[in-house]
């Protein structure tokens, strides 16, 4: 949708006049480093050109009014800056309100409310961080509209805090960081233990980053996510008896192998193994990319998938079908599940010449096996949040 159309829609819903501004914040795809961000490990996501747009105007009172062009049936959702508490009746608007709450908690209090209309082109529930992009959009517009002194990194942390404590999802920092700190044609190599990061150019001349959406989202997502976190925390406590460490991300594979017996439970051992090995794979993948060794990068992506499937157990049969079919297509360098898991999307690196064949084969096989229509998008790496108008 064009900016002018969004603004016209805003005027239709909330009335014309005043200082109307437009902002954008991107979604993300994670190339490698999955379920490492709450284990003190590394991640390697990039921002997408897909994301969430917001048209906004400060109001003259304490009212907050929200309208989404993706959920028009919900109509205008109304609230107030004086009630910063989660409210099931507000549906998606709990995300922007959560960010308001997180800013408020840090002393960045708004004096007036606002009207906000949003439109996003990230498929909902696809695991491409539509919620993080909505949060970062809100942080960005709050900073600009109310003149708050906060950097993008600070916005990412406040957005994560709002998701953890206002919206009850115990996520790590990856998604909000990738959205707030995105850089065109670069992926972000982030050490989640220290928040040190480096931008790595992703110069793909002969390949494309291809995202395949399974369009399934199994309902256990949030509960299983929190279970995995707990399993890793317990495993870390157990390993601490054998070695002085603060996080799983500090361990090399060899160190882990030598002390893994300190974790008595076999399932928990597998979870911790994934966290340790995935972190090392991520470091190696970035080294491979720097040497322009995309074949090695792709192999590490494949290993990542196998580990997420067998040791971390966050894949599902639909996603395995998409990935395994992709592996059989000539010209696919690597393919894996991306994001939290249990559905959502896969990410693949595919030779330009093989993209068509990829799309045909993967979607055909998926349709045959599950009688479902998947979706394939060739994505571009975009920049961070911005004011457009
Ligand atoms: C979700 C979370 C992230 C991260 C990934 C798994 O996207 O929001 O913090 O843990 O899952 O890598």
Is 334 part of any domain? no
Is 339 part of any domain? no
Beta pairing partners, 64: 79, 114
Q: Which atom of ligand 1 is nearest to the CA of 340?
A: 11
- 3 Cα to the center of ligand 1, angstroms: 30
Q: Give the C-alpha separation, 201 to 46, whole Å.
A: 10
Q: Give the C-alpha separation, 274 to 288, whole Å.
A: 20
Residue 72 is classified by DSSP as: G
Determine if ligand 1 sits within 6 Å of the CB of residue 359: no
Determine if ligand 1 sits within 6 Å of the CB of residue 37: yes
**Tens digit of each residue's pLDDT (9 = 90 or more) over 258-283:** 999 999 999 999 999 999 999 999 99
Determine if ligand 1 sits within 6 Å of the CB of residue 41: no
**Tens digit of each residue's pLDDT (9 = 90 or more) over 128-150:** 999 999 999 999 999 999 999 99
Is 252 part of any domain? no
Beta pairing partners, 79: 64
Residue 381 is classified by DSSP as: B
**CA distances to 202, 239, 347, 349 from 353, in Å:** 19, 47, 17, 12
User: Per the structure, how many domains does the chain have?
Assistant: 1
- The tokens describing 301, both together, are 């992506």
* Minimum CA distance residue for ligand 1 atom 9: 172
- 148 Cα to the center of ligand 1, angstroms: 28
Is 366 part of any domain? no
360-382 in b/e burial notation, b at 16+ Cβ within 10 A?
Answer: ebbbebbeeebeeebebbebebb
Is 56 part of any domain? yes
Which stretches does DSSP call E strand in the chain? 21-30, 42-43, 45-58, 63-68, 77-80, 114-120, 186-191, 196-201, 207-217, 332-338, 343-351, 375-379, 386-387
- 382 Cα to the center of ligand 1, angstroms: 20
User: What confidence score (pLDDT) does residue 222 get?
Assistant: 75
Nearest to residue 175, comparing CAs of 159, 162, 195, 198?
A: 159
Domain residue limits at 41 = 3-201+383-387
Is 72 part of any domain? yes
Mention every residue, 6+ apart, whose C-beta is less than 8 A from residue 201. 185, 186
Evaluate if residue 369 carries a pLDDT over 70.
yes
Determine if ligand 1 sits within 6 Å of the CB of residue 340: yes
**Tens digit of each residue's pLDDT (9 = 90 or more) over 168-182:** 999 999 999 999 999
- 175 Cα to the center of ligand 1, angstroms: 7
Q: Give the C-alpha separation, 296 to 207, whole Å.
A: 14
Determine if ligand 1 sits within 6 Å of the CB of residue 175: yes
Model pTM? 0.98
Is 337 part of any domain? no
Q: Compute the C-alpha angle 175/178/180, nearest 5°.
A: 105
Is 95 part of any domain? yes
We report the CATH number of the domain holding residue 112 as 3.30.230.10
Q: Bigger pLDDT: 222 or 19? A: 19
Q: Which residues are known to be catalytic?
A: 175
SS3 (DSSP) at 171: coil
């Amino acid at each position: 949708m064009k900016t002018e159309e969004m603004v016209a829609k805003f005027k239709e819903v909330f009335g014309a006049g005043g200082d109307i501004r437009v902002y954008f914040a991107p979604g993300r795809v994670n190339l490698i480093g999955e379920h490492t961000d709450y284990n003190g490990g590394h991640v390697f996501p990039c921002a997408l050109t897909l994301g969430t747009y917001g048209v906004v105007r400060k109001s003259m009172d304490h009212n907050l009014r929200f309208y989404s062009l993706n959920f028009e049936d919900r109509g205008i959702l109304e609230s107030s800056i004086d009630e910063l508490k989660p409210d099931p009746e507000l549906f998606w608007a709990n995300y922007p309100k959560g960010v308001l709450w997180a800013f408020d908690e840090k002393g960045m209090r708004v004096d007036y409310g606002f009207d906000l209309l949003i439109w996003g082109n990230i498929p909902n529930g696809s695991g491409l961080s539509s919620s993080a992009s909505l949060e970062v959009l809100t942080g960005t517009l709050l900073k600009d509209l109310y003149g708050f002194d906060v950097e993008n990194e600070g916005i990412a942390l406040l957005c994560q805090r709002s998701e953890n404590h206002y919206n009850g999802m115990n996520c790590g920092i990856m998604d909000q960081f990738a959205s707030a700190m995105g850089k065109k044609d670069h992926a972000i190599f982030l050490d989640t233990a220290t928040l040190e990061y480096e931008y790595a150019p992703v110069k793909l001349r002969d390949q494309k980053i291809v995202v395949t959406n399974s369009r399934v989202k199994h309902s256990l997502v949030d509960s299983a996510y929190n279970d995995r976190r707990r399993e890793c925390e317990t495993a870390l406590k157990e390993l601490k008896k054998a070695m002085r460490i603060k996080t799983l991300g500090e361990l090399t594979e060899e160190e882990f192998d030598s002390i893994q017996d300190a974790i008595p439970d076999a399932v928990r051992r597998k979870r911790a193994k994934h966290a340790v090995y995935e972190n090392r794979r991520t470091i190696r993948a970035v080294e491979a990319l720097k040497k322009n060794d995309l074949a090695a990068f792709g192999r590490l992506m494949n290993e990542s998938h196998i580990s997420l499937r067998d040791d971390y157990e966050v894949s599902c049969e639909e996603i395995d079908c998409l990935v395994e079919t992709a592996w059989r297509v000539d010209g696919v360098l690597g393919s894996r599940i991306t994001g939290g898991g249990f559905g959502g999307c896969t990410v693949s690196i595919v030779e330009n010449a093989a993209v068509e064949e990829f799309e045909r084969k993967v979607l055909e096989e998926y349709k045959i096996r599950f009688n479902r229509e998947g979706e394939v998008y060739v994505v571009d790496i975009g920049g961070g949040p911005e004011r457009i108008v």
